[in-house]
């Protein structure tokens, strides 16, 4: 209780300093309010109370940006790295003010944020782009396509993926599906590169009058990579290029996808 009262007192002093700054002072000259975690682990909740949902955690020594309000009771409002509002128990953090120009100054959430992978269990991506595959005469042709990618998050660095895609044109349909895994190389970076491997099947279903496509079902091994760009507010964009080795009676042939889309994790 004493620690909670002390934390609220310090926060009141910090906010008083912020609000009481001279009106002529520019925003760059005003101090900013932060809180440092002083326990092993603190839960970030969606509301000011123990009954609200936990939306994240922070560990001893981590710095949280205060929202500029005291919150309710012994709960303080903070802004998470991805721009969401959360609440922490005042007894578990120590508020402090930082003035511009101080060394090792903490940063507040900006336009970019780390991908929302930590603490999530599943997600999905919807992408679209170009599917480049061999056609009936042996040459390659590009088709517009869409792909749905559900994911199970084993760790922020590893996900298990399914994929289901289709290109529907006047000549017929090319559908592919399968599963694999993705390695997120730098999950704490706002621009997170990744690589993936997968296996599946490609089915080509031409129209009866098509001379461009031929009916076939081909097993494929798929590899690719790209990067995720995460924005504040858990908005995630995905850019990816893949190559699929198609196992045909004539030997191996290749198909590629070039895609861009949006994703979400929960």
Give a yes or no: residue 82 inside a domain. Answer: yes
Q: Does residue 236 share a domain with residue 134?
A: yes
Which of helix, strand or coil describes residue 237?
A: strand
pLDDT at 250: 80
Give the count of alpha carbons within 13 A of 223, CB side only.
2
Q: Does residue 250 share a domain with residue 143?
A: yes
Give a yes or no: residue 106 inside a domain. Answer: no
pLDDT at 35: 92
Asked whether the predicted pLDDT for residue 231 surpasses 70, the reply is yes
CA angle 242, 157, 258 (to 5 degrees): 15
Domain span at residue 223? 122-265
CATH code of residue 199: 2.40.160.20
What is the average pLDDT across 218-224? 96
Domain count, the chain: 2
CATH code of residue 61: 2.30.30.40
Q: Does residue 130 share a domain with residue 77?
A: no
Q: Are 263 and 124 in contact (CB under 8 A)?
A: yes
pLDDT at 147: 98
Q: Does residue 250 share a domain with residue 137?
A: yes
Give the count of alpha carbons within 13 A of 132, CB side only.
10
Closest CA to 263 of 119, 84, 128: 128
- Record the pTM: 0.76
Give a yes or no: residue 113 inside a domain. Answer: no
Asked whether the predicted pLDDT for residue 25 surpasses 70, the reply is no
Q: Are 203 and 132 in contact (CB under 8 A)?
A: no
Retrieve residue 70's tokens.
Answer: 């005291």
Confidence band, pLDDT 50/70/90 cuts, at residue 149: very high
Dump pLDDT digits (tens) for 32-55.
889 999 999 999 999 998 899 888
Give a yes or no: residue 164 inside a domain. Answer: yes
Give a yes or no: residue 116 inside a domain. Answer: no
Give a yes or no: residue 103 inside a domain. Answer: no
Contacts of 229 (CB under 8 A, 6+ apart): 112, 190, 191, 236, 237, 238, 239
Asked whether the predicted pLDDT for residue 18 surpasses 80, the reply is no
Confidence band, pLDDT 50/70/90 cuts, at residue 69: low
Q: Does residue 90 share a domain with residue 204?
A: no
Contacts of 32 (CB under 8 A, 6+ apart): 18, 65, 97, 98, 108
Give a yes or no: residue 105 inside a domain. Answer: no
């Amino acid at each position: 209780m004493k620690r909670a009262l002390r934390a609220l007192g310090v926060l009141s002093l910090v906010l008083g300093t912020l609000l009481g700054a001279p009106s002529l002072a520019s925003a760059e000259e005003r101090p900013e309010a932060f809180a440092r975690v002083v326990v092993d682990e603190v839960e970030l909740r969606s509301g000011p109370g123990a009954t609200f949902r936990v939306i994240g955690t922070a560990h001893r020594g981590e710095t949280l940006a205060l929202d500029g309000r005291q919150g309710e009771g012994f709960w303080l409002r903070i802004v998470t790295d991805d721009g969401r509002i959360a609440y922490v128990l005042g007894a578990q953090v120590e508020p402090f003010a930082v003035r511009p120009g101080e060394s090792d100054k903490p940063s507040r959430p900006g336009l970019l944020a780390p991908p929302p992978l930590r603490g999530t269990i599943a997600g999905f991506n919807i992408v679209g782009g170009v599917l480049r595959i061999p056609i009936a005469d042996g040459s390659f042709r590009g088709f517009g396509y869409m792909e749905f990618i559900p994911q199970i998050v084993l760790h922020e660095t590893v996900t298990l993926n399914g994929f289901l895609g289709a290109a529907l044109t006047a000549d017929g349909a090319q559908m592919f599906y399968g599963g694999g895994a993705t390695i997120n190389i730098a999950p704490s970076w706002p621009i997170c590169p990744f690589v993936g491997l997968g296996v599946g099947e490609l089915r080509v279903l031409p129209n009866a009058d098509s001379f461009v496509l031929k009916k076939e079902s081909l097993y494929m091994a798929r590899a690719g990579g790209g990067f995720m760009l995460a924005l504040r507010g858990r908005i995630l964009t995905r850019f990816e290029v893949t190559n699929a080795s198609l196992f045909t009676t004539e030997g191996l042939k290749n198909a590629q996808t070039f895609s861009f889309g949006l994703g979400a994790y929960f």
